[in-house]
Amino acid sequence: MKLTINGDVKEIKDGIVLSELLVIEDVEQPDMVSVQLNDEFLTKDTYATTTLKEGDEINFLYFMGGGA
């Protein structure tokens, strides 16, 4: 199926859940990304149960912060 991931259209195997997609996208610490699925924020406790479907648009951004 085709998914749009951070603006890029990619062919991804059917039936995967969001947490699997983040692994494919080399996200080593899923807790440190915010995710929007079709412009709606997902809570982190749903990453493993959210099944993606053809045409979904997924954007993920890393937590951004630091010190001094």
Partner 1 sequence: MIKIPQSVYDEIVAHALKDTPIEACGYLAGINGEVKYAIPMKNRDASNEHFSFDPQEQFDAFKKTQKEGLRLISVYHSHPETPARPSEEDIRLAYDPNVSYIIVSLAGETPDMKSFIIKNKTVEKEEIEIIKD
Where on the chain is the footprint of partner 1 (CB under 8 A)? Answer: 6-7, 29, 32-34, 36, 41, 59, 61-68
Select 14 or 68, whichever has its Cβ closest to partner 1.
68
58, with CB counted inside 10 A (0-12, 13-18, 19+), is: buried
Side chain identity, residue 33: V
- Please report how close the Cβ of residue 44 comes to partner 1 at its closest, in angstroms: 12
- Please report how close the Cβ of residue 68 comes to partner 1 at its closest, in angstroms: 4
- Beta bridge mates, 3: 10
Check if the beta carbon of residue 40 is closer than 8 Å to that of residue 59: no
- Please report how close the Cβ of residue 17 comes to partner 1 at its closest, in angstroms: 21
